[in-house]
Chain A
Amino acid sequence: MSTGRNNRKGGATRVRKRLRIGLGVMLTLLLVVGGKLILIQGFDIGDLAAKAESLRAKTVTLPAQRGAIEDINGNVLANSIIRYNVVIDPSTNTPADTFERRDPKDPTRVVEVSRDQGLKELAALLKQDFNAVKAAATGTSKYSLLAKGVKPDVADQITALNVPGVVTQGTSQRVYPDGSVAGGIVGYLQDGTTGVGGIEQTQDKLLQGTDGSRSFEMGADGLVIPQAPDKVTAAQNGQTVRLTINRDLQYYAQQVIQTRVKSTGAEYGIAVVAEVGTGNIVAMADSNAPDPNNPGGSAAQDLGVRAVQAAVEPGSVEKTLVAAALVEEGKSTPQEQFHIPNEYTVNGQTFGDSFDHPAFNRTLAGILGYSLNTGTVMAGQRLTKQERYDWLKKFGIGEAPDIPLPGVSQGILTTPDKWDGRQEYTVLFGQGVSQSVLQTVMAYQSIANDGVLLKPRLIDAYIGPDGKVQKTPVTEVRRVLSPETAQKTKDMLESVVTAGEWKDAQIAGYRVGAKTGTSQSPCDNGQAGYCGYTASIVGMAPMDDPKYVVEVLIQRPKTNIMGIDGADLFRDIMGQALRMNNVAPSTGAPVHLDQYGPGGSDGTQK
């Protein structure tokens, strides 16, 4: 009995001992583990948590998409698309003699492909020479660019090839689907990001938008950890800019002007179509317009928009402004008769006309109708020098039009105290003063718009990424003429076409008013004297309620200046603008102001 009890007692002690040892080991382990836990969790020795986090955490930039540029009808003139750069890591590719990939015919099978075969297929997809691709893929460098601007479907096929070291990187490419149609106005990008011409430049900030970002945690297998925080700051895409340009009319105008520049060997040509009631620039055509897809392919002087950047001496188109000023000031009327000699001398300055004529009678309307410098000086000198300056200024000459394009020219209109003895008269017929085509167009717009000068509108609206349309307002600059004077001036302009010398400008079905201008063009580069001529015509239609003002200008044509004033071009472009926009044909009888006045021309008409 007693021994059994002793045995039992000894067994219990041993068990207790073992339990104690076990407990001791457990406690030690717990202490170690607990201590480590405290070290890691409590004190974070060695920034392990941060290191682990940084291994998992990824932040990617969500690039904002650059806004599009559209014409008035929503046709895209510029937008951004995805293209791929194909890059190879030669240090990975060179040692890989063979590689594995899924069999294209049976995706569940993996096949082994030789390096040369892979590169051959890659070269075929890139439409490049195999040897060139192999040369680029061989070496110890880490980076070699194989191709740029690869289309998504080709990029997908390249990815499917699984050639070692080959990566396709998505980039944004700016494309201009209409190319050189309104190319200068739209502008282009430098390095694919910054606008350096036209609307791309002036509206760069709005078009760009703001980049967003996404922070998330990614496991080693490349999958996003679902439970981890995922912070997304959405990219703010750029705004779409809708222009007032109608690309079809723009295209037509560019074609017309290009044809004439080619046939006359002129330096350049410009055609502008503006809407009277809104100041909308419907077309602003340049010869040799640049293709923004390839700005390097155009000569430097062709890259801009000449209609706003080039200031030329306007010539006789200025006479209309003088006539309007004379009527508004009450210093003449359209039917006032002048007796005009072949040459007219005032203050020792002698002025002649573009054609020889005996002394004859012309009304103020007739002076415009026959584009007489002599008559313009006779009538215009009734305005003081300051008045001449103020009136030109009122019509917007000498002040840069507020239009969102780079390098807008304000022209040259010197103050009257700097005018010399001849210039004070020549400004009356548009010499000794220079202005851009747009300035001339807007001055005529004020006449057509019952005397109210508007700001030229090139941007119709901004369309936000949310589709919200924000229209730009029609802005009135100032009232230049009273409605009565504006009407009288319009009548004189119509008479130029109905009774004067420019019957070519007539458009069947519509009443038209227009004025030509031919001026001697001062030489460039500081050379003295004149180098050729500037031929232009500006007019409006339909005269019963003018809708459009059109100007066509041909700079320094090489052929005979007479007869290439562009009346036919004006007619073509204006006719197209009227028909394209379904302008109703004119009603009422055309105005036919007497060009000679009482007693007729004295039989001196040519």
Chain B
Amino acid sequence: MSSVNNRMTASSIGNTARKLAAPAPAKERRRTPLVVVPAAPRRRSLMFVISCFTVLAAALVGVLTLNIQLSEGQYAIVNLKAQQSSLSKSNQELTQQVQNFSAPQNLAAKAGALGMVPSAGQGQIDLDNLTVTGKAVAAVKDPKSGLVQIAAPEIAGQLSVVTALPDQQPGQAQAPETKTKPVAPAAPEVPKVQLNGGSVPAPAQRTPGN
């Protein structure tokens, strides 16, 4: 209502000219009245700005979170890859040790060290026709009949399983076994810096109890 009143008062201000002849008033009436832009939408625009900022902030936070997530994922990948490579390396190392211990030379030497001797003669029992063929002879320890020992593999960095020659005393060959003992349990080296080709060390993890 007040705006209508305003309009009425506004249109009458400063109208000092006299009335002209007949056609003039019609023209006068057609003129669009000048109006002050209403101030009402001001509250709506504030809302709009706030919502804009909210969206912007949300978007920024979203992007930031996504970025953090991605980097975290990247760090996790680096960490897991470091773990994988160290596990596969230690697996390879242990496999290598098993292979070395099971090499025929090393096995034979160990067996000899335990006092085992090659069998002297075998017999065969055929269960189908209940016959015994061949002559089984009890194995005897005969130092003269011993075969020459083939040299153990010379793998660089690999612990030598056999140091004793075949004609040496069984007790002597026992020595390297004690020597290899400390290697068997992989030393739990905690703070290893895994670089994995990059320059950022993987996150160091504490072991439980540390």
From 144 to 191 in chain A, residues with beta carbon under 8 angstroms from any chain B beta carbon are 149-153, 156-157, 159-160, 162, 173, 175-181
| A175–B193 CB distance below 8 A | no
Once bound together, how far apart are the Cα atoms of A222 and B210, in whole Å?
Answer: 29
Task: Bin the interface of chain B by size.
Answer: 35 or more
Which residues of B sit under 8 angstroms from A173, Cβ to Cβ?
A: 156
A sample of 14 more A-B contacts (CB under 8 A), given A157-B189, A160-B192, A508-B133, is A75-B102, A82-B92, A104-B190, A107-B190, A152-B93, A153-B89, A153-B93, A175-B155, A175-B158, A177-B96, A180-B153, A223-B75, A293-B153, A585-B133
Which residues of B sit under 8 angstroms from A60, Cβ to Cβ?
A: 197
From 498 to 522 in chain A, residues with beta carbon under 8 angstroms from any chain B beta carbon are 508-510
11 intermolecular pairs with C-beta atoms under 8 Å apart: A107-B191, A149-B156, A151-B157, A156-B194, A177-B153, A178-B99, A178-B103, A178-B104, A221-B199, A291-B151, A509-B123
Which residues of A sit under 8 angstroms from B197, Cβ to Cβ?
A: 60
| B189–A156 CB distance below 8 A | yes
Once bound together, how far apart are the Cα atoms of A82 and B93, in whole Å?
Answer: 9
Known: A107-B204, A179-B105, A223-B75. A160 touches B147 (CB 8 A): no
Q: What 3 pairs across the A-B complex have the smallest Cβ distances? A: A179-B153, A509-B134, A177-B99
Give the dominant DSSP class at B's interface.
loop
| B198–A251 CB distance below 8 A | no
Give the dominant DSSP class at A's interface.
mixed
B186 interfacial contact with A, CB 8 Å: yes
Once bound together, how far apart are the Cα atoms of A484 and B73, in whole Å?
Answer: 76
Known: A248-B104, A259-B147, A509-B133. A160 touches B153 (CB 8 A): no
Once bound together, how far apart are the Cα atoms of A510 and B190, in whole Å?
Answer: 61
| A256–B147 CB distance below 8 A | yes
| Residue-wise interface mask of B (56-73) relative to A, using a CB-CB cutoff of 8 A (1 in contact, 0 not) | 000000000000001101
Which residues of A sit under 8 angstroms from B193, Cβ to Cβ?
A: 102, 159-160, 162
From 253 to 298 in chain A, residues with beta carbon under 8 angstroms from any chain B beta carbon are 254-256, 258-259, 262, 289, 291, 293-294, 297
* Interfacial residues, chain A to chain B (CB-CB below 8 A): 60, 75-76, 81-83, 102, 104, 106-107, 149-153, 156-157, 159-160, 162, 173, 175-181, 218, 221-224, 226-227, 247-248, 251, 254-256, 258-259, 262, 289, 291, 293-294, 297, 508-510, 575, 579, 584-586
Once bound together, how far apart are the Cα atoms of A81 and B96, in whole Å?
Answer: 8
| Residue-wise interface mask of B (37-78) relative to A, using a CB-CB cutoff of 8 A (1 in contact, 0 not) | 000000000000000000000000000000000110111001
Once bound together, how far apart are the Cα atoms of A584 and B131, in whole Å?
Answer: 12
Which residues of A sit under 8 angstroms from B121, Cβ to Cβ?
A: 508
| B74–A508 CB distance below 8 A | no
Known: A152-B93, A224-B74. A585 touches B124 (CB 8 A): yes
Once bound together, how far apart are the Cα atoms of A181 and B102, in whole Å?
Answer: 12
Q: Quick one: closest A residue to B122, CB to CB?
A: A579
Distance between A183 CB and nearest chain B CB, rounded to angstroms: 9
A222 touches which of B122, B147, B152, B199 (Cβ 8 Å): B199
| Residue-wise interface mask of B (136-167) relative to A, using a CB-CB cutoff of 8 A (1 in contact, 0 not) | 00000000000111111111111000000000
Which residues of B sit under 8 angstroms from A575, Cβ to Cβ?
A: 122
B148 touches which of A223, A262, A579 (Cβ 8 Å): A262
| B86–A223 CB distance below 8 A | no
Distance between B68 CB and nearest chain A CB, rounded to angstroms: 12
Which of B89, B149, B195 has the largest number of chain A CB atoms within 10 A? B89
Distance between A108 CB and nearest chain B CB, rounded to angstroms: 8
Once bound together, how far apart are the Cα atoms of A258 and B121, in whole Å?
Answer: 21
Once bound together, how far apart are the Cα atoms of A422 and B172, in whole Å?
Answer: 59
Which of B126, B152, B193 has the largest number of chain A CB atoms within 10 A? B193
Which residues of B sit under 8 angstroms from A294, Cβ to Cβ?
A: 154
B187 interfacial contact with A, CB 8 Å: yes
B135 interfacial contact with A, CB 8 Å: yes
Once bound together, how far apart are the Cα atoms of A291 and B154, in whole Å?
Answer: 7
Once bound together, how far apart are the Cα atoms of A247 and B157, in whole Å?
Answer: 23
Q: Quick one: closest B residue to A582, CB to CB?
A: B124
Once bound together, how far apart are the Cα atoms of A297 and B153, in whole Å?
Answer: 12
Once bound together, how far apart are the Cα atoms of A510 and B135, in whole Å?
Answer: 11
Which residues of A sit under 8 angstroms from B103, Cβ to Cβ?
A: 177-179, 181
Q: Quick one: closest B residue to A218, CB to CB?
A: B198
Q: Quick one: closest B residue to A174, CB to CB?
A: B155
B10 interfacial contact with A, CB 8 Å: no
Which residues of A sit under 8 angstroms from B116, Cβ to Cβ?
A: none
B90 interfacial contact with A, CB 8 Å: yes
Once bound together, how far apart are the Cα atoms of A224 and B199, in whole Å?
Answer: 11
Which residues of A sit under 8 angstroms from B102, Cβ to Cβ?
A: 75, 177
Once bound together, how far apart are the Cα atoms of A452 and B198, in whole Å?
Answer: 62
| A509–B198 CB distance below 8 A | no
| B154–A293 CB distance below 8 A | yes
B200 interfacial contact with A, CB 8 Å: yes
Known: A160-B191, A585-B133. A179 touches B151 (CB 8 A): yes
Distance between B196 CB and nearest chain A CB, rounded to angstroms: 9
| B78–A291 CB distance below 8 A | no
| A293–B156 CB distance below 8 A | yes
Distance between B35 CB and nearest chain A CB, rounded to angstroms: 19
Q: Quick one: closest A residue to B78, CB to CB?
A: A223
| A255–B147 CB distance below 8 A | yes
Once bound together, how far apart are the Cα atoms of A595 and B183, in whole Å?
Answer: 64
| B199–A585 CB distance below 8 A | no
Which residues of A sit under 8 angstroms from B70, Cβ to Cβ?
A: 226-227
